[in-house]
Chains A and B, each alone.
Chain A
Amino acid sequence: MSQIKILIYGYGNPGRQDDGLGNEFIEQIQSWAKNDENTAYEFDSNYQLNIEEAELISTKDLIIFVDASIEKEVETYKLTKVSNSSDITFTTHHASPGYILQLCNSIFDKQPPTYLLHIKGFEWDFKVGLSAKAKTNLEKALLFMKKKLKKPNTLIQQF
């Protein structure tokens, strides 16, 4: 049985304080995963999602996007399943995980299971570095994911 391929992809602008939660999550989880010889995981990060990610996720078995959240219903972190979405904003420049998933399905006929890990952020000014409250949430989210990532071959069933 070939090993499954799992993509963990954080996005946001690290120059806007807590908007960099997704990127910082990837930095830390990648560093943690280095000590583990597991090759199932691929990590990536960017300022935002864009259409070429549709091709990237088409080659994976499971995708976990990680983004900062301002939503009230996210208290610390929250993992939600991503559904297809055709919502797009008028100036290009922002694509949601659901949009990427739908594009992947439309173009490459693939529908890999996709999740979004929301991590609650609080401060969004021009500044590098997470707020203290966001750091706490990041640590909790990391603990949660590390437990899940220990067994990649059963990860899909865990979600």
Chain B
Amino acid sequence: MGKKVTIEPVTRVEGHGKVTIHLDDNGNVERSRLHIVEFRGFEKFIQGRPYWEAPVTVQRLCGICPVSHHLAAAKALDVIVGAGTGTGLTPTGEKMRRLMHYGQTFQSHALHFFHLASPDLLFGVDGDPAIRNIIGVALQHKELAVQGVMMRKYGQEIIKATAGKKVHGTGAIPGGINKHLTEQERDSFLNGADPLNIDKMIEWSESALAFFLDYHAKNTDFIDNFSVFPSSHLSLVRKDGALDLYHGVLRAIDTEGKKILNDVDYQDYNKYISEEVKNWSYMKFPYLKHLGKENGWYTVGPLARMNTADFIDTPLAGKAHEAFKAYTNGKPNNMSMHMHWARLIEILHSAEKMKELLNDPDLLSGELTTKGKRRAEGVGVIEAPRGTLFHHYEVNKDDTIKMANLIVSTTNNNTPMNNAVNMVANNYMNGQKEITEGMMNAVEVGIRAYDPCLSCATHAMGQMPLDVSLYDNKNNLIDRKTT
């Protein structure tokens, strides 16, 4: 009989997730699971509400990525008001939304890299937790910490200017957007005092990427071998195969790079994707129907997007993407730590895209909305910072929401995160009789590479420390640690 290790985040409300690692009689890892045990009731909550409220209401799902939900819902409702399936908006409507989205991606990725990943890289997975945080980074590498804070601030200001406000932004509405950018706002974003201007943001994005590449060159073994496992990858891509975070067709590739979902219209996503329910987690397990539950799982997010996209259409990020692809000779990259590399390429791409948009006069004037023949159903999909996000609504004749189905990015990554935990557990826990600090850190790093948004996937609130419990083969608690 084996032992069981439990890693349990605790939140202000009851909802939480935990990791259990089961050891066999010899002390080797038998299996491991990432459990999410908060009930997801949001789809029920918005049934019966007027559909036009959804882009604002769905932001209540999550205080971490409200813009992603705001835009995905708005895209679904574009379909319902007859404004097309992603390309029917006015130039102003689409470009303002894109600016909002690139601002969101920029600040979200910056937060993840500077706030979470850089401490792991600078101080090591086994580093002292007391200093393995951005405050530790600030003490030893102040410039990195300052860049992280100010890049976040720049992205947040973009969101405020396009969405209207930080809490429950109202910028995106069914059929378009509700405001232009003012000249004053544009000039400030383009030419504001250092460091809050777009050229400085691009410069810092390049230096963050250079920092990672330098680290990679010096720590190749760790970056290339920590939590590596074969996976399929799924994301939106533009119709010509370019990376597009706002709109496109659904593409999935297998571990060899062969297309297993060939650029299909996401309005039909439920023809191709289903979700499995398992009795040990409230978070579902999405999979490609034609490959089945066992083999149809996939990874989403920055790494997946680098793998599925043929190219990137901004010069600096485009060049970085070529180097990324070349590293695996064009084959899909399944190295979990390369998610940081991918994220940094997307930071740079988002900065370049913001500059392109800020120089576009369509942001300052032009029609804000459009509409056409009303429909009863719509699907909105967006590449959120953490991966592909699906919003699907059916509405009644009285304009109330009849049905809502959301597949959030973190849910799409459910199986890969479980696999990552399993890989790490096998590397660190085999033959161990107690939970080591290195094991705790490694599990954190393995999960964290996906930048999971558990509050988004589970609707929990508040802090989520890790609580690790070790059980013997009779389920007796023999060790416990909390981060």
Contacts and interface: CB of A to CB of B under 8 A. Distances in A.
Q: Do A and B bind each other?
A: yes
B454 interface: yes
Given A14-B167, A51-B111, A106-B145, A90 B42 contact: no
A52 B156 contact: yes
B138 A107 contact: yes
Contact of B166 (A46, A88, A102): A46
B478 interface: no
Interface stretch (A91-99, A130-138, A140-148): A91-99
Main SS of the interface on chain A? loop
A13 B116 contact: no
Contacts of B459: 126
Nearest to B443: A90
A124 B168 contact: no
B38 to A, nearest CB: 11
B170 to A, nearest CB: 14
B135 A23 contact: no
Given A90-B466, A126-B41, A103 B112 contact: no
Interface in B397-418: none
B153 A55 contact: yes
A51 B149 CA distance: 6
Nearest to B61: A15
Interface in A7-49: 13-16, 19, 23, 45-48
A13 B461 contact: yes
Main SS of the interface on chain B? helix
Interface residues of B, number: 54
A124 B13 contact: yes
A93 B9 CA distance: 13
Contacts of A23: 167
Nearest to B112: A92
Given A94-B463, A124-B13, A47 B167 contact: yes
Given A86-B135, A93-B453, A106-B135, A126 B152 contact: no
B193 interface: no
B149 A45 contact: no
Contacts of A157: none
A50 B167 contact: no
Interface in A76-122: 86, 88-94, 96, 99, 102-103, 106-107
Contact of A88 (B133, B138, B455): B133
B64 interface: yes
A66 interface: no
A149 interface: no
A51 B115 contact: yes
A90 to B, nearest CB: 5
Interface string B26-59: 0000000000000001100100000000000101
B153 A90 contact: no
Interface in B286-302: none
Contacts of A50: 111, 152
A119 to B, nearest CB: 14
A91 B135 contact: no
Contacts of A89: 9, 463-465, 483
A41 to B, nearest CB: 18
- Which has the most chain A C-beta neighbours within 10 Å: B111, B451, B462? B462
B130 interface: yes
A62 interface: no
Interface string B129-160: 01101111011001001101110110010000
Nearest to B157: A52
Nearest to B152: A52
Contacts of B461: 13, 16, 19, 124
B205 to A, nearest CB: 17
A103 B134 contact: yes
A64 B483 CA distance: 28
A54 interface: yes
A156 interface: no
A90 B115 contact: no
A32 to B, nearest CB: 19
A70 interface: yes
Contact of B149 (A13, A14, A86, A103): A103
B386 to A, nearest CB: 10
Contacts of B146: 107
A48 B60 CA distance: 12
Contacts of A93: 63-64, 453-455, 464
A51 B60 contact: no
Contacts of B111: 50-51, 92
A14 B57 CA distance: 10
A124 B12 contact: yes
Nearest to A54: B149
- Which has the most chain A C-beta neighbours within 10 Å: B41, B115, B148, B461? B461
13 contacts: A13-B60, A13-B461, A15-B59, A46-B63, A51-B134, A51-B152, A86-B135, A88-B134, A89-B9, A93-B464, A103-B138, A124-B12, A126-B60
In order of increasing CB-CB distance, the 3 nearest A-B pairs are A15-B60, A47-B63, A106-B138
Interface of A: 13-16, 19, 23, 45-48, 50-52, 54-55, 70, 86, 88-94, 96, 99, 102-103, 106-107, 124, 126-128
